[in-house]
Structure 1
């Protein structure tokens, strides 16, 4: 049974983040042309092919898929953080979905009590509640971020070195990072007494 999503006008009075799909709509897929004008930068980057089909470029010390570079460049140049924004960061396959669900439930606790039958996480995937900000910029949908009321809860797989200066150098920026420990132990050359 599908639950009705709150309207954007009703969400203006909520405390906490509003699910991204409730504001912009899942069917609101009016594709905007992805960011252009970065071809000259991309063509100068070191390039490797992985498995003969995945082209990666090295940009600011990180290897990124060719398709991701325009979004990263656009994000770095055009993102304007708001007070109260929270950015969830993680490498792929390190608990991103879990982190999104936990952060959304925690930040939205006042607006969406955990036992509420209409809780957004009961009807939406955490990725539909908390967007990947670099995906929005890659697809040219960065204007949709402005539709989100504050505080915005956003996510990325970008490393800290690739974040825009408006976030990385902002002492008021709220960045939550999760990673997975690989379990290997480096050999020690000295022993603690």
Structure 2
């Protein structure tokens, strides 16, 4: 199978997507935080003290880095699926929409996986808890954050393109002016040579 420029650009597009780069990490971070939720809500003073205690916070950070590769292994396939859905339904609309509509699109994107999450949750001992956790605590916040990252990147790219447009127009105008100048010189030289030939004849 031949590798075309289109296939290479599509491959580079999903590889550089926020859903693929940041999605699994955000999901891993959410899971790590929810594992400590019983301390956060049960004994918040103890949790806050742990955040400023080096003997507690550094092992927590080290544990996060240790489980991050496993998070990418488990989350890369859902991240690619969400990226493909985003690219098909919402990517072209992000250039000219406000932040609130971007958030709505991110929520819609997260809810698109609901049927698959529901099927997966039915196979577990606690379907309602599993579905609620996966859909509203893990998937939905991750898709919202990644959609906002993509929106910011597209907005920034659009602003840089708008800033470059006057410069490009100026360059094109100057090049056209120079081309017209040299063309006029060439035509005048041709006319002079024709006049000289006519005078000699």
User: What TM-score bracket applies, with the shorter chain setting the length?
Assistant: under 0.3
Larger Cα Rg: Structure 1 or Structure 2?
A: 2
More helix by share: 2
**So what's the TM-score if we normalise by structure 2?**
0.27
**So what's the TM-score if we normalise by structure 1?**
0.27
More strand by share: 1
Question: Which protein, 1 or 2, shows the higher relative CO under an 8 Å CA cutoff with sep ≥ 6?
Answer: 1
